[in-house]
Chain A
Amino acid sequence: MQDQEEITPLFTEECDIAMTVNGHRYKQKVSVRMLLSDFLRHELHHTGTHVGCEHGVCGCCTVLLNGEAVRSCLMFAVQANGMVVTTIEGMAGTNSDLHPIQQAFQEKHGLQCGFCTPGIIMTVHAMLHENPNPSDEEIRQELSGNICRCTGYQNIVEAVKLAAERLREQQMEVL
C-alpha cells in the first residue's frame, strides 16, 4: 500500500490530496468541492474519463477506485485521497497492444461515437474480475448502469463475451 496522506479538514477551501492514478503517484492541492471526474480530466488531463450526466446515471465517468467500478462524477476528489484509481488510459500502455477488452470492442464493433465507451470498458473490467464467465443475461444486467445511445448494446454484449473468453483462455488476471 502507498503512504496514507493526512486528510486536511474539509471545511477549508482547498486541501492536499495524494492519489495513485494508473500507477503514477500524484500529490496536489484541490478545491474541496472539485469532483473526482473534474480532477482526473482537468487537473491530471486524463480526459478519457467522460462526463455524461453529472448525476450518476449514465456511467460514462466510471473509473476503478481500489479495483471497484465507481462513478467519478458522484465523488469529490478529496474522497479519493489515498486511493488507487484506474482510468481507461491505464488499460493499455501507450505503445503496447490494446487490452483484450478493448480489442474485443473493436472486433465486435462495440462502440460508435466512443463517448460512453471508456466508462463501459471500466465497468466490464470490474465485471469480468468478479465473474470471468458471465451469461448473456448477467452481462446485460451488469451493463444496465451504463447508457449507450449509439450501439443498441448488442455488439457490446458480444464484445464482453469475446473478451471474457480470451481472458479465460489466457488465464490472465483482469486486474
Chain B
Amino acid sequence: MATRWFGASIPRNEDPRLLRGKGTYVDDIDLPEQLHAAVLRSTHARARILNIDVSAARELPGVHLVLTASDLGLVLEPSPLLVPHDALTQPRTQLPLALNEVHYVGEAIAFVVADDRYIAEDALDLIDVEFEPLPVIHNMEVAVAEDAPLVHQDVPGNVAAHLIQTVGDPDAVFINAPHVIRETLLMDRGAAMPMECRGVLARWDAYEEMLTCWISTQGPIPIRNGLAAIFHLPEHKVRVIAPDVGGGFGPKIMMFYPEEVLTPFAAIHLGRPVKWIEDRREHFISANQERSQLHEVEYAFDDQGILLAVRDNFIHDTGAYTPYGIIVPIITACTLPGPYRLKNYFSEFKVIYTNKVPVSPYRGAGRPHAVFVMERIMDRIASELHLDRTEVRSRNFIHPDEFPWDVGLIYQDGGPTRYDSGNYQAGLDKLKMILDYDNFPIQQAEALKEGRYLGLGIAYYVEGTGIGPYEGAQVRVESDGRVFASTGVTSQGQAHCTTFAQIVADQLGVHPQDVMVTTGDTQAFYWGVGTYASRAATIAGSAMHLAAVKVREKAIKVAADLFEAAPEDIELADGKVFVKDAPHRSLTLGQVAISANPLRYAYGENARKLMSMKLAASRQGPALPPERGAPGLEASEFYSPPHGSFASGVHGAIIEVDPKIGMVTFVKYVAVHDCGRIINPMIVEGQVHGGVAQGIGGAFFERLVYNEEGQLTNASFMDYLIPTATEIPTIVVDHLETPSPLNPLGVKGAGEAGVIPVPALFASAIDNALSTFGIRIQEMPLHPCRLYELIEESLEQKGQ
C-alpha cells in the first residue's frame, strides 16, 4: 500500500514562500497607475451630521477624488443583512458613508483618493464636518434602562431581536428542585486583532469591462456576488481574490465593510486602480468586534449534583448595527448545554443596540460566553455540594451510547442542534491523567504553606462546527502529472494548501507537494460560501475528497482501457498508474491525463513518451466516448452536510495567583481535544495553541474599554494588551479521535476550539486558587487590577 497522507504531520506547502517573504498580502500588490485611499471617520459615537465641507480637500494637489454620501448615487444603500432571522425584527445595517447621522466612533463619513496615502491623509485633515452631538449609549446595561436614549431613533427600547427557546418543562422542574441558584455573569468586549488589518485593492479594466478586487477577506465569493449586484455587472465580470490573508478570526467574514464598496466605486469612477489599507487605529474603531453579553442565569440541581434545569436570560450587545444578524447569540444559546444531559432548558435573549463598533463573529463566536456560564454552574454545584468538580461533570455527561444527542434547539444554520458523536468521559480521564489531577491537592497545600496560591481550573465544551450550506472543489490532473485543486473557501493561516493536498494525494497516489491548491479566487472556483464556523476542513475538505475520488475512478477507467486490464487491477501510487503485480505496465499520472484528453496536438515529454508507447489501438466511434464523460482527468464535487458536526474538548490548567498584585501566571496548561479524525496533527495542534493564546488574552489581558462618550480609550497595541511570548505558557495538547458519522472523512472542525473554554477555565482556576478568600469570578475578561480589586473587596467583607 502506498503512503497514506491523511493523518500525517507533514510540513506545510505554504511555508517556503511565506518564510522567504514571498507571500502576497493585499498591500504587497502594487499596480501601475495605482492611487491610494483614506477614510474620514466619525469622532462622535452619536451625532447628527449638519454639514460636510470637502472643498479644501478637493483642492489639495494630488487629490483625485473626495466622496461623501451624497456622491454615491445608487450605491448609497445599506449593506445587506447577511443572515436574516424572524426574531430579528429591527435589523439595521450600515451605509457605505454616513448620510445624516453617525452611530459609532469610527463610522465612515468620507473617502479620499490621492496619489499616495500620505496626501490622502493630509486631505482628511482638510475636511470640515459639523456635528450636532446626541446622547450616547455606551453599554448594553444603559441601553436597556427605562427611558434610555435611542441608538436608532426608530428602534424602540434599543432592541434589535428577541428570541425564546424552551426544551422540556423547566418551570415545573424549578418548583420542586432541591437546590436553585441564581447569578449574573458578564463577558465584556474584545477583538480578534489579526496581524494584517483589512485591505482592498480594486482595478477596473475598461477593455474587458471587468472589475478585479483583492480583499483581505474570508468570503470572496459572496463579495463577488454582492459587488456584481451593486455595480450591475455580470458575476463573471467581477473577480474577487483573497490572496494571502494575515489572519482572519471572524471579522473578515463580514460583508460589506464600507471600503469594500467604496474602493471599487472609486476605481470604476477614476478608471485607475485604487488601494485602501486599514491602519491599526482604524482597525480598532471600524473592524467588527464581539463578546459582550450579560447573563442572568438560574439553575436547579439535585443532591447528587445532577443539573435538572437552566433558565438563562441574556442581553447581547450588537453595537450600532446587525450586519451578521443574530448568529452570535443563537450560537451562545445552543452551546450552553455543553456535554451535559440538560433536559429542561429555557433560553431567552435580547439583542441590544449600542453606539459602538458593530458585532459579528470572532473566533469562538458566542461559544466562550456559553461555556463560561455552564462551567461556572458546574463548579458552583460542586462547591455547594462539596463534590469534586470533575465528578459533578461526569455525573452529568451525555454517554457515548446516547449519540446522536438532540439538544432540542435550532442551531445557527437553521438545522437541529444534534450532537453527532462524542466521548466526553474519555476526554476528561485523559485530561486528569496528564494534569496529574489527583495529586494536585497535595501540591496546592504545600504551596500554600509557602504562601503561594496555586489553583486548578477545568472547563469542558462542545462546539458546533462544520455547518452548511455547502462547499465545492475541483480537482484536475495536469499533463505534467501535478494536480490542480481549487475550492471557494479561503485560508488565513489554517494551511488549507497542505491539508487539502493531503486529502487529494491519498486518492491520486501523488505527493502532497504535487497538489497545487488554490483557495479564495472566484475565477478558480465559482461556487461556495467562505471560511467561518470551523467548517473548511469538514465541508470543503469533504468536497475535495469526493472530487478526488471521482478523478481517481476516471484515471482507473482510462488506464484499464489503455492496458486492456480489469479496472480492479489498476493502482495509483508514487505519481504512477499501473497494473497490479505488473509494474512494467505503468504510466505516469500525467500521461493518463493526456490520454484522457483526445487532443489532436499534445506537447511535452509526457506526451512524447505516451506516443512512443503506441498504446492506443485504432478505435471505433467518437474519440471522446460518452461513457468517458468530459475530457481529461477532472471532476468537481460538492458537499452539503445534513447538519453541523459537534467537536468537543476539555482544558485544564494550574495557575499561580499573586494576591498582592492580582497577577496570574500559568504553571501548566493541558488541552484535550476531539475534532474527529485528524488530517494533520501538527496543524491541528497549532490551531489549538493559537486558540488558547487568544483565549488567555480574552480572559486576562484584552478588554475594549469604551468611556461614557462611546470613545474607545485603548485603541492601540500600547493599551489593548495582546499576550506576547512571555504571557503564554507551554500548552500540552492531546487528542481523542471520535469520528463524525456525517461526512466521508469523519472529520470535525478545529479552528475555533482552542479559544472557547479559556475564560471558563481561568475563572475556575482563580476560584480554586483563592478559595480561602471566598472569591467567585462572575465576569470576564479580568485583568490584574480588577482581580486585585476583587481580592481587596473580599478582604474588606471579611473585615481584614
| Chain A interface (Cβ < 8 Å from any Cβ of B) | 31, 33-34, 41-42, 45-55, 57-58, 60, 87-89, 91-92, 98, 102, 105-107, 109, 111-118, 121, 139-141, 143-157
Contact = CB atoms under 8 A, between A and B. Distances in A.
19 contacts: A48-B20, A50-B25, A88-B19, A88-B20, A89-B20, A105-B15, A106-B16, A107-B11, A109-B685, A113-B244, A114-B14, A114-B19, A139-B725, A143-B726, A150-B690, A151-B693, A153-B724, A153-B725, A157-B730
B215 to A, nearest CB: 15
Contacts of A155: 686, 689
B391 interface: no
Nearest to B717: A57
B21 A48 contact: yes
Nearest to B283: A53
B60 interface: no
B775 interface: no
Interface residues of B, number: 57
Nearest to A155: B686
Contacts, number: 177
Contacts of A91: 20-21
B22 A48 contact: yes
Interface stretch (B189-197, B258-266, B559-567, B571-579): B189-197
Majority DSSP secondary structure for residues of A touching B: loop
Contact of A144 (B14, B249, B725): B725
A152 B693 contact: yes
Contact of B196 (A47, A115, A148): A115
A144 B195 contact: no
Contact of B726 (A33, A144, A154): A144
Contacts of B195: 50, 52, 58, 60, 113, 115-116, 147-150
Contact of A149 (B12, B690, B716): B690
Contacts of A152: 686, 689-694, 728, 731, 754
Nearest to B491: A113
Given A41-B27, A48-B23, A112-B690, 20 more contacts: A50-B196, A55-B716, A55-B717, A57-B718, A58-B195, A58-B280, A89-B21, A102-B20, A109-B11, A112-B687, A113-B493, A114-B15, A115-B244, A117-B19, A121-B19, A146-B725, A147-B724, A149-B693, A151-B693, A152-B754
Residue of A98, A152, A153 contacting most chain B CB atoms (<10 Å): A152
A112 B15 CA distance: 8
A113 B12 contact: no
B495 interface: yes
B551 to A, nearest CB: 29
B722 A114 contact: no
B402 interface: no
Contacts of B30: 42, 45
Given A113-B247, A114-B244, A139-B725, A55 B280 contact: yes
Contact of A154 (B14, B718, B730): B730
Given A143-B725, A151-B686, A115 B246 contact: yes
Contacts of A121: 19
B208 interface: no
A140 B722 contact: no
A121 B731 CA distance: 22
B212 to A, nearest CB: 19
Contact of B18 (A34, A89, A117): A117
Contacts of A157: 725, 730
Given A88-B20, A139-B725, A115 B686 contact: no
B731 A149 contact: no
A126 to B, nearest CB: 15
B28 interface: yes
A50 B21 CA distance: 9
Contacts of B722: 147, 149
B725 A114 contact: no
A106 B18 CA distance: 10
B293 interface: no
Contacts of A98: 16, 19-20
Top 7 A-B pairs, shortest CB-CB distance: A48-B21, A115-B246, A113-B493, A114-B18, A152-B689, A88-B21, A152-B693
B494 interface: yes
Interface in B230-245: 244-245
Contacts of B247: 112-113, 115, 149-150
Contacts of B14: 114
Interface in B724-751: 724-726, 728, 730-731
Contacts of B18: 111, 114, 117
Contacts of B692: 152
Interface in B15-41: 15-16, 18-25, 27-28, 30
A31 B117 CA distance: 12
Nearest to A157: B725
A28 to B, nearest CB: 15
B718 A55 contact: yes
A145 B494 CA distance: 24
B548 interface: no
A57 B19 contact: no
A112 B280 contact: no
Interface in B338-360: none
Interface in B150-196: 192-196
B20 A113 contact: no
A75 to B, nearest CB: 15
A92 B690 contact: no
Nearest to B696: A152
A40 to B, nearest CB: 10
B20 A53 contact: no
Residue of B281, B687, B690, B725 contacting most chain A CB atoms (<10 Å): B725
A147 B19 contact: no
Contacts of A42: 30
A154 B691 CA distance: 12
Given A31-B118, A54-B280, A148-B195, A112 B495 contact: yes
Nearest to A93: B20
B726 A141 contact: yes
A157 to B, nearest CB: 7
Nearest to A148: B195
B513 to A, nearest CB: 12
B196 A102 contact: no
Given A52-B280, A149-B694, A152-B690, A109 B20 contact: no
A47 B21 contact: yes
Contacts of B495: 112
A149 B717 contact: no
A106 B15 contact: yes
Contacts of B118: 31, 33-34
Nearest to A158: B730
Nearest to B216: A115
A158 to B, nearest CB: 9
Given A50-B246, A154-B730, A147 B717 contact: yes
A128 to B, nearest CB: 15
B605 interface: no
